[in-house]
Structure 1
Amino acid sequence: MSQVSKGRTPVRIPAEVANIVGTSIAILAVVATGSAIVAAVPDLSVWQFAGAYLAPGALAFAAYWWIAQKL
């Protein structure tokens, strides 16, 4: 006897949910990276502190923009 398995229908995630999850992950990654930079470098000035968070934020925005251009 052979068993025939029924194909599973793929689960589709709504675009809004994917966008919210992706944005949340990006924000957490930016904050974690900025915190790691701030913790690693002693005696930061105000501008260096801001740059520690702005640099990863800029990279996250560039990735978001690049993905948006592909869609």
Structure 2
Amino acid sequence: MPIRLKKLIGTVLLIALVVLYALVASAVAVARLGDAGALAQLAFFIFSGLLWILPAMAIIKWMMVPRRD
């Protein structure tokens, strides 16, 4: 697969990941953290704010792997 096509697909996947992840994290926060304390909310948002990095790293790694000939 050409590197330009991989980068295009990876970019679309990253944008979709961020949008979908933000919607899911917000829905979980609204459903579960409405009456939680400030410390629980802080812990959730720190954890969920960093968790999306793992799949994003995998997508970026896939995008950057050179083509095998």
If asked which structure has higher relative contact order (CA below 8 Å, sep 6+), I would say 2
Would the alpha carbon gap of residues 21 and 57 (structure 1) be closer, same or farther in structure 2, given more than 3 Å must change?
farther
Quick one: which of 36, 56, 59 aligns to 1:64? Answer: 56
Q: CA deviation at 1:25?
A: 1.0
**Bigger share in helix:** 2
Would the alpha carbon gap of residues 47 and 20 (structure 1) be closer, same or farther in structure 2, given more than 3 Å must change?
farther
Task: Tell me if structure 2 keeps the 8 A contact 1:33–1:56.
Answer: no
Report the number of matched residues.
59
Task: Tell me if structure 2 keeps the 8 A contact 1:30–1:60.
Answer: yes
**What fraction of aligned residue pairs are identical, expressed as a percent?**
14
Q: CA RMSD in A?
A: 2.9
What is the TM-score of this pair, normalised by structure 1? 0.51
Task: Tell me if structure 2 keeps the 8 A contact 1:38–1:44.
Answer: no
Quick one: which of 12, 37, 43 aligns to 1:45? Answer: 37
| Unaligned runs of at least 5 residues, structure 1 | 1-12
Letter of the 2:22 counterpart: V
